Amino acid sequence: MKNIAVLASGRGTNLQAIIENIENGTLKANLACVISDNKDAKALERARQHNIEAVYIDPGPKKTWLIPEVEQKYVQALKDRNVDLVCLAGFMRIIKTPLLEAFKGRILNIHPALLPSFPGLDVQRKALEYGVKFSGCTVHFVTADVDAGPIVTQAAVRVLDDDTPEILAERILKEEWRIYTEAINIVLSGKYRIEGRRVIRT
Ligand code: GRF
Protein backbone atom coordinates (compact mmCIF):
# COMPACT_ATOMS: atom_id res chain seq x y z
CA MET A 1 0.00 0.00 0.00
CA LYS A 2 1.37 3.40 -0.98
CA ASN A 3 1.57 6.25 1.52
CA ILE A 4 -0.16 9.54 0.88
CA ALA A 5 -0.17 12.76 2.89
CA VAL A 6 -2.76 15.50 2.79
CA LEU A 7 -1.74 19.14 3.19
CA ALA A 8 -4.68 21.32 4.21
CA SER A 9 -5.14 24.78 5.70
CA GLY A 10 -8.82 24.84 6.56
CA ARG A 11 -12.03 22.92 7.03
CA GLY A 12 -10.86 19.72 5.31
CA THR A 13 -13.95 18.29 3.64
CA ASN A 14 -11.79 16.85 0.86
CA LEU A 15 -9.61 15.33 3.55
CA GLN A 16 -12.74 13.89 5.15
CA ALA A 17 -13.75 12.28 1.84
CA ILE A 18 -10.25 10.83 1.45
CA ILE A 19 -10.36 9.38 4.97
CA GLU A 20 -13.82 7.86 4.41
CA ASN A 21 -12.89 6.47 1.01
CA ILE A 22 -9.81 4.80 2.50
CA GLU A 23 -11.96 3.37 5.28
CA ASN A 24 -14.55 2.01 2.83
CA GLY A 25 -11.91 0.63 0.47
CA THR A 26 -12.63 2.91 -2.51
CA LEU A 27 -9.27 4.63 -2.13
CA LYS A 28 -6.38 2.21 -2.08
CA ALA A 29 -3.82 4.10 -0.03
CA ASN A 30 -2.52 4.60 3.47
CA LEU A 31 -2.94 8.13 4.83
CA ALA A 32 0.40 8.60 6.60
CA CYS A 33 -0.29 12.06 7.97
CA VAL A 34 -2.13 15.35 7.58
CA ILE A 35 0.03 18.46 7.64
CA SER A 36 -1.22 22.00 8.09
CA ASP A 37 0.16 25.51 8.14
CA ASN A 38 -2.75 26.50 10.40
CA LYS A 39 -2.74 25.07 13.89
CA ASP A 40 -6.50 25.64 14.22
CA ALA A 41 -7.39 23.93 10.95
CA LYS A 42 -10.47 21.75 11.21
CA ALA A 43 -8.55 19.36 8.95
CA LEU A 44 -6.12 18.57 11.80
CA GLU A 45 -9.04 17.81 14.10
CA ARG A 46 -10.60 15.52 11.50
CA ALA A 47 -7.30 13.63 11.24
CA ARG A 48 -7.03 13.17 15.00
CA GLN A 49 -10.60 11.90 15.19
CA HIS A 50 -9.57 9.11 12.84
CA ASN A 51 -6.28 8.37 14.61
CA ILE A 52 -4.28 9.84 11.76
CA GLU A 53 -1.16 11.75 12.64
CA ALA A 54 -1.89 15.50 12.53
CA VAL A 55 1.16 17.70 12.10
CA TYR A 56 1.27 21.48 12.37
CA ILE A 57 4.32 23.14 10.85
CA ASP A 58 4.64 26.86 11.54
CA PRO A 59 4.45 28.59 8.15
CA GLY A 60 6.80 31.38 9.14
CA PRO A 61 6.74 34.95 7.91
CA LYS A 62 5.15 34.87 4.44
CA LYS A 63 1.45 34.83 3.66
CA THR A 64 1.11 33.08 0.32
CA TRP A 65 4.19 30.87 0.20
CA LEU A 66 6.77 29.31 2.51
CA ILE A 67 10.36 30.49 2.68
CA PRO A 68 12.76 27.69 1.59
CA GLU A 69 13.89 26.90 5.15
CA VAL A 70 10.29 26.39 6.21
CA GLU A 71 9.26 24.48 3.11
CA GLN A 72 12.21 22.19 3.76
CA LYS A 73 10.58 21.27 7.09
CA TYR A 74 7.50 20.14 5.18
CA VAL A 75 9.73 18.09 2.86
CA GLN A 76 11.46 16.48 5.83
CA ALA A 77 8.16 15.64 7.53
CA LEU A 78 6.93 13.98 4.33
CA LYS A 79 10.18 12.06 3.82
CA ASP A 80 10.26 10.92 7.46
CA ARG A 81 6.87 9.29 6.86
CA ASN A 82 7.83 7.68 3.55
CA VAL A 83 5.17 9.57 1.68
CA ASP A 84 4.78 8.54 -1.97
CA LEU A 85 2.18 11.11 -3.02
CA VAL A 86 1.36 14.53 -1.60
CA CYS A 87 -2.26 15.64 -1.94
CA LEU A 88 -3.00 19.33 -1.52
CA ALA A 89 -6.56 19.88 -0.38
CA GLY A 90 -7.24 23.49 0.39
CA PHE A 91 -3.57 24.16 1.23
CA MET A 92 -3.35 27.93 0.87
CA ARG A 93 0.30 28.22 -0.09
CA ILE A 94 2.06 28.41 -3.43
CA ILE A 95 4.43 25.47 -3.66
CA LYS A 96 8.05 26.33 -4.37
CA THR A 97 11.27 24.55 -5.27
CA PRO A 98 12.11 22.53 -2.14
CA LEU A 99 8.84 20.60 -2.25
CA LEU A 100 8.53 20.55 -6.04
CA GLU A 101 12.00 19.07 -6.39
CA ALA A 102 11.73 16.58 -3.56
CA PHE A 103 8.35 15.30 -4.83
CA LYS A 104 8.65 15.90 -8.56
CA GLY A 105 5.55 14.59 -10.32
CA ARG A 106 4.21 13.38 -6.99
CA ILE A 107 2.09 16.33 -5.83
CA LEU A 108 -1.60 16.66 -6.68
CA ASN A 109 -3.98 19.55 -6.14
CA ILE A 110 -7.72 19.93 -6.39
CA HIS A 111 -9.15 23.13 -7.79
CA PRO A 112 -12.84 24.14 -7.76
CA ALA A 113 -13.14 25.15 -11.42
CA LEU A 114 -12.60 23.66 -14.85
CA LEU A 115 -8.98 24.67 -15.48
CA PRO A 116 -7.58 26.48 -17.38
CA SER A 117 -10.66 28.63 -16.70
CA PHE A 118 -10.66 30.44 -13.38
CA PRO A 119 -7.32 29.68 -11.72
CA GLY A 120 -6.59 31.34 -8.37
CA LEU A 121 -8.99 32.18 -5.58
CA ASP A 122 -12.72 32.91 -5.19
CA VAL A 123 -13.33 31.04 -8.41
CA GLN A 124 -16.95 30.03 -7.90
CA ARG A 125 -17.90 33.71 -7.73
CA LYS A 126 -15.76 34.45 -10.79
CA ALA A 127 -17.38 31.62 -12.76
CA LEU A 128 -20.84 32.84 -11.79
CA GLU A 129 -20.09 36.46 -12.68
CA TYR A 130 -18.54 35.44 -15.98
CA GLY A 131 -21.77 33.71 -16.88
CA VAL A 132 -20.47 30.25 -17.71
CA LYS A 133 -23.17 27.57 -17.85
CA PHE A 134 -20.86 24.82 -16.61
CA SER A 135 -18.14 24.87 -14.02
CA GLY A 136 -16.64 22.03 -12.05
CA CYS A 137 -13.42 20.82 -10.54
CA THR A 138 -9.98 19.68 -11.62
CA VAL A 139 -7.34 17.43 -10.11
CA HIS A 140 -3.94 18.26 -11.54
CA PHE A 141 -0.26 17.69 -10.91
CA VAL A 142 1.40 20.59 -9.14
CA THR A 143 4.12 22.42 -11.05
CA ALA A 144 5.83 25.77 -10.54
CA ASP A 145 3.01 27.51 -12.43
CA VAL A 146 0.01 27.90 -10.15
CA ASP A 147 -3.06 25.79 -11.10
CA ALA A 148 -1.43 24.89 -14.42
CA GLY A 149 0.02 21.37 -14.16
CA PRO A 150 -1.12 18.36 -16.23
CA ILE A 151 -4.75 17.44 -15.56
CA VAL A 152 -5.50 14.00 -14.14
CA THR A 153 -9.28 14.32 -14.12
CA GLN A 154 -12.15 16.80 -14.12
CA ALA A 155 -15.88 16.82 -13.43
CA ALA A 156 -18.38 19.34 -14.77
CA VAL A 157 -21.41 20.69 -12.93
CA ARG A 158 -24.19 22.87 -14.24
CA VAL A 159 -24.35 26.53 -13.20
CA LEU A 160 -27.96 27.43 -12.48
CA ASP A 161 -29.60 30.85 -12.86
CA ASP A 162 -30.37 31.21 -9.16
CA ASP A 163 -26.97 29.99 -7.91
CA THR A 164 -24.98 31.97 -5.39
CA PRO A 165 -21.21 31.39 -5.11
CA GLU A 166 -21.93 29.33 -1.98
CA ILE A 167 -24.56 27.12 -3.62
CA LEU A 168 -22.35 26.57 -6.65
CA ALA A 169 -19.36 25.81 -4.41
CA GLU A 170 -21.43 23.20 -2.58
CA ARG A 171 -22.45 21.49 -5.85
CA ILE A 172 -18.82 21.49 -7.03
CA LEU A 173 -17.55 20.14 -3.69
CA LYS A 174 -19.65 16.98 -3.98
CA GLU A 175 -17.81 16.24 -7.24
CA GLU A 176 -14.46 17.15 -5.68
CA TRP A 177 -14.92 14.52 -3.00
CA ARG A 178 -15.53 11.91 -5.71
CA ILE A 179 -12.85 12.82 -8.27
CA TYR A 180 -10.00 13.36 -5.85
CA THR A 181 -10.20 9.72 -4.85
CA GLU A 182 -10.45 8.70 -8.49
CA ALA A 183 -7.35 10.75 -9.38
CA ILE A 184 -5.30 9.48 -6.44
CA ASN A 185 -6.12 5.88 -7.40
CA ILE A 186 -5.01 6.54 -10.98
CA VAL A 187 -1.73 8.15 -9.94
CA LEU A 188 -0.91 5.55 -7.29
CA SER A 189 -1.60 2.73 -9.74
CA GLY A 190 1.11 4.19 -11.98
CA LYS A 191 -1.05 3.33 -14.99
CA TYR A 192 -0.62 6.60 -16.86
CA ARG A 193 1.96 8.47 -18.84
CA ILE A 194 2.37 12.19 -19.40
CA GLU A 195 2.74 13.43 -22.97
CA GLY A 196 3.23 17.17 -23.08
CA ARG A 197 0.41 18.42 -20.91
CA ARG A 198 -1.70 15.31 -21.37
CA VAL A 199 -2.13 12.62 -18.72
CA ILE A 200 -2.95 9.45 -20.64
CA ARG A 201 -4.22 6.28 -18.96
CA THR A 202 -2.28 3.14 -19.81
C1 GRF B 1 -11.85 23.13 -2.16
O2 GRF B 1 -12.85 23.82 -2.85
C3 GRF B 1 -10.67 22.87 -3.05
O4 GRF B 1 -11.02 22.65 -4.38
C5 GRF B 1 -9.88 24.14 -2.92
O6 GRF B 1 -10.01 24.51 -1.57
C7 GRF B 1 -11.23 24.00 -1.06
C8 GRF B 1 -10.89 23.19 0.15
O9 GRF B 1 -12.04 22.75 0.80
N10 GRF B 1 -8.52 23.95 -3.34
P11 GRF B 1 -11.93 21.70 1.97
O12 GRF B 1 -10.97 22.29 3.00
O13 GRF B 1 -11.42 20.42 1.40
O14 GRF B 1 -13.31 21.57 2.53
Could you tell me what percent of the chain has a pLDDT over 90? 99
Judged against a pLDDT cut of 90, whether residue 68 lies above it is answered with yes
Q: From the CA of 74, how far away is ligand 1's center (Å)?
A: 20
50 is catalytic: no
Contacts of 198 (CB under 8 A, 6+ apart): 150
Give the list of residues 6+ apart from residue 33 with CB closer than 8 angstroms, or none. 5, 6, 47, 52, 53, 54, 55, 77, 81, 83
- Find out whether the beta carbon of 12 lies less than 6 Å from any atom of ligand 1: yes
Residue 63: its pLDDT value, please?
Answer: 85
Whether residue 63 is annotated as binding a ligand: the answer is yes
Please give the DSSP secondary-structure letter assigned to residue 15.
H
Catalytic residue among 111, 112, 153, 168: 111
Identify the residue whose C-alpha is closest to ligand 1 atom 1.
Answer: 90
**Averaged pLDDT of the chain:** 98
Record the pTM: 0.98
- Overall average pLDDT of the 130-158 stretch: 98
Does domain 110-202 fall into CATH 3.40.50.170?
yes
pLDDT of residue 20: 98
Topology of domain 1-104, CATH: Rossmann fold (3.40.50)
- Whether 62 shows a pLDDT value over 90: the answer reads no
Calpha distance 108→182 (Å, rounded): 12
Residue 9 alpha carbon, nearest atom of ligand 1: 12
Average pLDDT rounded to a whole number, residues 104-131: 98
Coil, helix or strand at residue 193: strand
Burial class (CB in 10 A: 0-12, 13-18, 19+), 144: exposed
Q: How do residues 4-41 score in pLDDT, each as one tens digit?
A: 999 999 999 999 999 999 999 999 999 999 999 999 99
Is the shortest distance between the CB of 136 and ligand 1 below 6 Å?
A: no
**Which residues, listed in sequence order, are joined to residue 154 by a DSSP beta bridge?**
138
According to CATH, where is 3.40.50.170 located in the chain? 1-104, 110-202
Pocket test for ligand 1, best of 11, 14, 35 (most atoms within 8 A of CB): 14
2 annotated binding-site participant: no
